[in-house]
Structure 1
Amino acid sequence: MNTNDDSKDYNTTDIKLISTEVLIIGAGNAGLMAAAAAAEKGVKTLVIEKEHTINLLRLSLGGVDTNAQKRAGIKINKFELVEYLAAFAQHNVDEGLIYHWVNNSAEAVNWVEDNVLQPHGAHLRAEPDIGEKNPIYKAFPTQNDATKDDNTFASYGKWFQEKVEEMGVELLFDTSLVKLEVDNGTVTGIVAKNLIDDKYFKIRATKGVILCTGGYSANKELLSKWNPLALKKNVYNDSPRNDGAGIMAAMNVGAIKDEAPAGCTFDRGLVPIGTRTEDMYVQTETYQDWLWLASHPLLKVNVRGERFANESTPYEFIVNAASKQKGYLYAMIWDSNFGKYAAQFHTLGCARIGFPGYMANVEKLKADTEQYVDKGLIVKAKTLEELAEKLHLPVENLLKTVARVNELSAQGVDQDFGKEAYRLTPVAQAPYYGCMLGGRLLCTFDGLRVNKKMEVLDEDYAPINHLYAAGNDSGGFFFGSYPDRVPGTAASHAQTFGRLAGKQAAQN
């Protein structure tokens, strides 16, 4: 597949030409950090972005030995952390790149705190280890949260944009990458398109081009080619900007990418009853029909009404388990005591109750859940038989499954799937609730192969001169599912490698 229009003649004398030293494509976590790093070196820096605004900057940043962690007395064994990440990926990664992230992450995280947050009265709060003894929840306290009051998140995207503009970086919005231009093996710039007037123009970059356009989760054709299972198990894409343009542009000039897919999926995609997963792939930047409760370890059953996995797993794992079931979707079943159960679950990450979760308390979680009853995406019933019929589940099977779960809850031992006793809860108090769920693809991670200078590699694993990649355009770091027990890794990977790419391009 070729996403660039190579049939056009861009070598005419009337096409507009602008020049810069470092050109960055994409204004997100990686792109803005790359711009800041290049501008610090005193070089002329231009960022283009196909949308009207910068992309969302993540509020939780991973890192090792950050200033926030030092203030909190948190120390992470980097060798244990790297081995965990490599083992999580079955070593289908470039382990040297993971060490490179660990060794450079603190500089990037500290830069954000010192230059973007503190001038606005905000700071980073380091999150401690989760203290969970279940081996499936082995985790590392890598998370640093942007906040002003240690109780709520501080959104800093606007501040970051203002900072790079103060540093002299120019941002061009509504401008898309069409193709990379190469002269004697060196990337010299790009052909771009103004999406407002539909006119093409060229940008010459004398020091380098840095690809930071994100992955390809919005591109169903590329998903079908590179990660077809993602289309089957996900019903939403929460990054509609990510069309794979940067990856494809590089491959069109000889770059190579990861051979195996990787991505980040959340288990919070509400599905209208009766929908088939192959008929639904909603592109949304607003987290449409996003159910926070879905990440809690309540009863999950397949479309046959049968329990199929331990519900007490990291977010993506239950979606993976459902992909081995008929229809790829699954139902969640609970009763009127769900607020009480949520308080005892000790749910981790962004689904936890209280900061740095997004539900401040149980009452907020209950209100968030009830809104979807009004929308018809959650069904409510006086009996389990009625609930099964509304969910299009086999009534007899669901009754049998619930009876078994209630029996196990009374015993306090999950003899079927080994869920912890404090997360093993009955479905016994009417009214009963249920919904159909599928995955939400936040992003893809299988990107272009790069070296430690963030240079994009060709088929001989040699760098393509003056071409760099960071963020989800760069590969070699993830494999399969996202390791969410190392929180903030994705954002930090983007910002850290963006900073390294900006520095490297600037010194050419």
Structure 2
Amino acid sequence: MSYKLSRKDFLKGVGAGAITIAAAGTLVGCKSNSGAGKGIYTPGTYTATAKGIGTVKMTATFDANKITDIKLDVSEETESIGQKAADEIIKQLMKAQGTEIDGITGATVTANAAKECLEKCIAQAKGETVEEEPGQGEGPGGPGGPRGPKLDREAAKKAAEADGRVFGYAAAGNKWLGSAPKYDKVDETVDTDVVVIGLGHAGVQAVLGAAEKGAKVVGLEAQEQDMFSWYGEDIGAWNSQFAKNIGIPEWNLGQVIDEFVTRGGGRADPGIVSLYVKNSGPTLDHMIDVAKEMGVDSKVYTYDNTENGWTIVHVNMDYEKIKAGNNIYDCLDLTNYPRHPGTKTWPATVQFMGQYSAEEVQGVAAHSVLKYVQQACLDKAVKDYGTTLYYGTSAKVLLKDDSGRVTGVIAEDVDGKKIQYNVKKGVVVCGGDYAGNAEMSWALLTEYMERFEREGGLQKDFKSGMGGRDGSAVKLLCWAGGMVEPAPRGTMLLGGGINGPWGSNSMLWLNHEGKRYCNEGNVTGAATATARQKAGDGYLVTDSNFMQSVCACGIEHGAPNGGRPQYYQDLMNDMAAIPTGKSEPTQIRGCFVAERMGAAVYKADTLDQLADLMGVPAESKQTWLDSIAHYNGLCAAGADTDFGKDPSAMVPVLEAPFYGCKGNLGNNATTPMMVTMSGVMTDLNLNVTDVEHNPIPGLYAAGNCLGGRYGTGYSTPCAGNSIGMAVTHGRLAGQFVVDNEK
């Protein structure tokens, strides 16, 4: 007969066979039925688990009247204590035919877990079912909270398959992962210590990092050599000697790490961020040392912020010095940080910008000279350490032995030749992200996918238009057992809010109704707040004191860049030259990135005139003017009681001439713009982990396929940290694979 007991009643005991049961553990087995016979038990085999040092698992077999066999899995217990005692525990349980045993000295925790398992198996054999009290389930529960429902990963995998999902990911009906290719034979075999997949920013430093540790290294790059180069110009590097040499002080790195994690809503892994922040300065300095050693043009690694210089450090300026009419080169502010109009920023970015341009220049990192530094690092690995590089060679699948260790990779070159690379140490995957893969982006970037679809976007268009970034590296890692970090997953949406020739800023923004809608200095929240607005025009408004606002801005990605002082002088000259009252905006030069992207600016004698020039709707105009007056009142009071912008950035809009810029509000830019910001999870050795958070021997990740770096998007306390993280984590991963894999 089958019946249920409440936990309270069950703990009091039931008949002669009364037992106790703990809250933790998993209960699995057969129920009794009315035809079970007259014995004590329903014959059969029953299983249970309980918490010891780890998880103790038992399988117990019963006939009608006795326990006939017990098997105990204590593989997660201490080897010299719990595992050693297993046979004696089984012997005592069998002899007692129950849980009344003496126990094992020194192995009490394991013995008690085994007794608990047997209690559960006995309960099942008697047809008894324990009904858990609310909040006291058998699963892991939330952090620090009560245990939840029991979990069964195999059942969850089957449920995901039935839903048409990839296990562990939310998107239904999307088979983005597919299956790993299989190879019956290869054309060539290469033996080495370490293979690095991908020779972008992370891969270069992984190659050199492993080679300098004495490893025989092979580097694989999918692009052909004559088509290959590096992208970007900024390296965010904290407390580098390069920065100290120009007078920038050391910063409190604990505060920096906390700011990273806070900006990401707690979604970034503090340990992964810490690895970057604490090691980025030495990584940059090492790269520069290599460039010097390998004979790179000294202009590449020499600080020079004049028009003839190539390499600078991203800083802002001192407004009081500008206001006093000082030479622009005497107005640099190297020490008064963090800037905190809404989020904190510090000078940490070395910018390999290349030549100054007096005109607008299109093309991302058009003049960057960072490529010369990276090439020098590759050259050193090849010439000094015998590294072999294979261009036009795409990794297709990672190889694992029966123990689960990654032992190599099969790749194909441009001619279809299949090459198997066997490794003694391991594989470091630095093959980039998935921004160019619409199917993967649609499945994994759930927040942005929802925004895009609500605007009428289709999956086929949900990708970066910048080429590459096909997600193949992420698939390699997942096929080998890795897991992409859970949602929300970010992408690099540049800027945020309503920009102007100064880039990301903390000036006053008004929506199409003429209302202020956020703390403009909080770049982390500004892009999302802007996306939440009804689609339409937004308006940035400032006045003759615009440089005060520019100097109050943070110095993160896309922010004002006083590190190239001539940019600020150009900005002031261009703003002064804008015709007042012109119906069409004037295109002027920007002061925030090397490309000198332009921006359209309106200029007026009055705010009323500015509203008309910018096309503020008639029904919104009075609200628009009232919002500016209200904002001026907050500035006068010294406190933003509406949204909390820092007083340092509360600059009123009072003195003619008045300036304005227009921007788009709403969900207009929600496709993956440059790169995705999520990747697979690792431990703090950058060793890729499986679904149970166990490291996969021989498998490491760095660059844009590494998870834990960001939260919901690209909001950080300095510019250039995407490349900064890539080179830093890459170098560390190359070192870790050599040091940790024996």
Q: Which has the higher contact order (CA 8 A, sep 6+)?
A: 1
- Find the residue that maps to 1:309 and give its secondary structure: coil
Cα displacement (A) at 1:387: 5.3
Contact 1:17 1:204 in 2 (8 A): yes
Percent identity of equivalent pairs = 21
> Does the CA-based 8 Å contact 2:501-2:598 persist in structure 1?
no
Amino acid at match of 1:192: A
2:587 to 362, 365, 370: 370
- Verify: 1:492 aligned to 2:724, yes or no: yes
Contact 1:301 1:332 survives alignment (8 Å) = yes
**Distance in 2 between residues matched to 1:493 and 1:253, nearest whole Å:** 24
CA–CA distance in 2 between the matches of 1:330 and 1:358?
31
Alignment map for 1:55-70 (pairs within 5 Å): 55-64=230-239, 66=241, 68-69=243-244
* Residues 1:423 and 2:651 aligned together: yes
Work out the CA distance in 1 between the residues paired with 2:392 and 2:568. Answer: 37
* Cross-structure match for 1:279: none
Alpha-carbon distance change, 306 to 78 in structure 1, aligned in 2, over 3 angstroms = closer
State the TM-score, normalizing by the size of structure 2: 0.55
Distance in 1 of aligned mates of 2:530 and 2:178? 39
Q: Counterpart of 2:372?
A: 158
Which has the larger displacement, 209-218 or 46-55? 46-55
Give the structure 1 partner of residue 546 of structure 2. 341
Q: Flag the structure with larger Rg.
A: 2
The alpha-carbon distance between structure 1 residues 190 and 293, as it changes in their structure 2 partners (threshold 3 A), is same
Q: Following the alignment from structure 1 to structure 2, what is the Cα–Cα distance between the partners of residues 11 and 253? A: 18
How well do the aligned residues superpose, as a CA RMSD in angstroms? 4.3
Q: Does 1:11 align with 2:184?
A: yes
Letter in 2 for 1:190: V
Q: Say whether residues 1:247 and 2:474 are aligned partners.
A: yes
Change (3 A) 1:131 1:38: closer
Q: How does 1:57-206 map to 2 (within 5 A)?
A: 57-64=232-239, 66=241, 68-69=243-244, 72=247, 74-116=249-291, 119=295, 120-121=297-298, 122-123=301-302, 128-131=334-337, 134=340, 136-146=342-352, 155-168=369-382, 169-184=387-402, 185-194=404-413, 196-197=414-415, 199=416, 201-206=418-423
Give the Cα–Cα distance (whole angstroms) in 1 for the partners of residues 428 and 391 of structure 2.
16
TM-score (norm 1): 0.77
Distance 2:676 2:714 in 1: 10
Give the partner amino acid of 1:165: D
Aligned residue for 2:193?
21
Distance across 1 between alignment mates of 2:180 and 2:681: 27
Deviation at 1:435, TM superposition (A): 3.6
Aligned mate of 1:476, from 697, 701, 708: 708
Q: Unpaired segments of 5 or more residues in structure 2? A: 1-173, 304-311, 316-333, 359-366, 453-461, 579-584, 590-596
Gapped regions of structure 1 (runs ≥ 5)? 271-289
> How many residues end up aligned between the 2 structures?
478
Q: CA deviation at 1:25?
A: 1.9
Matched, 1:229 2:447: yes
Q: Which residue of 2 aligns with 1:262?
A: 490
Q: Distance in 1 between matches of 2:255 and 2:368?
A: 31
Query: More strand by proportion, 1 or 2?
Result: 1
CA contact (8 A) 2:200 2:230 kept: yes
Distance of 2:232 and 2:626 partners within structure 1: 45
**Helix, strand or coil at the partner of 1:60:** strand
Letter in 2 for 1:444: T
